[in-house]
Structure 1
Amino acid sequence: MPLAGHCLCKAVTYTVDIDAPLATAYDHCDDCQRQSGSTYSLVAVVPKDKLDLSGPVKTWTGQGSSGHPVHRLFCSECGSPIAHDPEAAPEIIALKAGTLNTKIKQTLKPDTEIWTVSKLPFCQESLAHPFEHMPGP
């Protein structure tokens, strides 16, 4: 069954033609903290070429630690963050896992933490595979 999701107002919808994310990660980078308004962003990493996204998406582009742009996609109607798309890793896109359909979200098992160098001190949970920054290819 493909992955599927939508923004808060359902104007932006997507499907990903895979059964499960390549990785499900707590992303502690400062940009994800700011975009989510929380201590981290739970992301579902998927192959970009398997993503079918439709609806009124806006993009804000910032610079990642790699020096390459990171495109942050969000709904232009309700403002829900949908994904971040790092040019340093052109084959993947990181969907904001909270936008996945509820039944899919309930089956996620986060297996990775990234950007633990930016992890806030009161976040004590640690997973099996922490990375201080974004892991390499």
Structure 2
Amino acid sequence: MVLTGHCLCKAVTYTANVDAPLLTGYDHCDDCQRQSGSTYSLVVVVPQDSLTVKGPLKKWKGIAASGNAVYRWFCEECGSPIAHDPEAAPVVALKGGSLDTEIKKTLKPDTEIWTAGKLPFCQEHLEHPFEFMPGH
């Protein structure tokens, strides 16, 4: 499966060659709420080494609740969020909304992460909720 996507102005493009995403779900952490400007961020997690990114990408280093760095990626031109890259794992969480339209129509989120930050009015209830990150 090849996942492709781009920012709003199409200056940043990416391709991830994967058999399937490692995880597709809703990330309710406060940082994702702020980066997305919404109640959660739809993320499609892929191995770092599967991803190729082209264009004027800016990375901002933040610190997660764990104390580890998380790099938030966005387009330098239009500011669209592209992904976040946790220093603690060799993965990248692509922002689901940045995937090409036909690909994002096929997504089937089955996981919620950081439900500790889930806002009380969010009604999504998926099979695999995690209070924080899986494995923590």
TM-score bucket (shorter structure)? over 0.9
**Offset from partner CA, 1:87-130 (integer Å, 9 cap, x none):** 111x2110001000011000000010000000000002210010
Map 1:21-32 onto structure 2 (within 5 A). Answer: 21-32=21-32
Q: How many corresponding residue pairs? A: 136
User: Which string of whole-angstrom CA distances, capped at 9 and with x for unpartnered residues, describes residues 14-34 of structure 1?
Assistant: 000124311101000000000
Supply the distance in 1 between the matched residues of 2:33 and 2:128 (Cα, whole angstroms). Answer: 20
1:82 aligns to 2:95 (yes or no):
no
The 5 Å alignment of 1:92-107 reads: 92-107=91-106
Secondary structure at the counterpart of residue 103 of structure 1 = helix
Cα distance in 2 for partners of 1:21, 1:70 equals 20
The separation in 2 between residues aligned to 1:121 and 1:133, in whole angstroms, is: 16
Specify the alignment match of 1:67 in structure 2: 67
Task: Please say if residues 66 and 88 of structure 1, whose CA atoms lie closer than 8 Å, have aligned partners that are also in contact.
Answer: no
**Distance in 2 between residues matched to 1:56 and 1:136, nearest whole Å:** 33
Are positions 1:121 and 2:120 aligned together? yes
Identical columns (%): 72
Cα deviation, residue 131, structure 1: 0.6
Secondary structure (helix, strand or coil) at the match of 1:43 reads strand
1:24-70 per-residue CA deviation (whole Å, 9 max, x = no partner) reads: 01000000000000000000000110100010001111101221100
Q: What residue in structure 1 maps to residue 107 of structure 2?
A: 108
Structure 1 unaligned runs (5+)? Answer: none
Matched AA of 2:33:
Q
* Shift >4 Å, 4+ stretches: none
Question: What's the RMSD between the two structures over aligned residues?
Answer: 1.0
- Unmatched tracts of structure 2, length 5 or more: none
Partner of 1:16: 16
The code of the aligned residue for 1:50 comes to S
